Amino acid sequence: MSLRAYQQTAARAETSRETEYRLFGQVTRALMEAAKLDPSDLRGRADALDWNRRMWSAFATDCGAPENGLPESLRASIISLAIWVGKHTSLAIRGQEDIQDLIE
């Protein structure tokens, strides 16, 4: 079975919540691996950090949509968290903050 066929089958079998849960796991695992890298390995660290930032940015964009069904207070909290992730990630890429804060 090709990778594309597998992905299509998996996408049909997963709920949105399951997909988000799986994505969180993958991104968190990448951050954990990046945290183990030598601080001079900027590329390896930046790739994981950027993936995490893009994930949170997508969540914030979704929460900003009027048709999002989550309670408004939860949507606001997710957007606030995404803003914090963006700022913290920029500092972590520059070596001014610890990646571990993004994992916990």
| pLDDT tens-digit readout, 47-72 | 999 999 999 999 999 999 999 999 99
* 8 domain residue, yes or no: no
* 77 domain residue, yes or no: yes
> Which pTM value belongs to this model?
0.82
Domain count, the chain: 1
pLDDT tens-digit readout, 11-23: 578 898 899 999 9
| Residue 92: count of CB within 10 angstroms of its CB | 25
Burial group, residue 8, by CB count within 10 angstroms (0-12, 13-18, 19+): exposed
* 9 domain residue, yes or no: no
* 97 domain residue, yes or no: yes
pLDDT of residue 5: 62
Domain that holds residue 85: 16-103
* 5 domain residue, yes or no: no
| % of the chain with per-residue pLDDT over 90 | 72
* 89 domain residue, yes or no: yes
* 98 domain residue, yes or no: yes
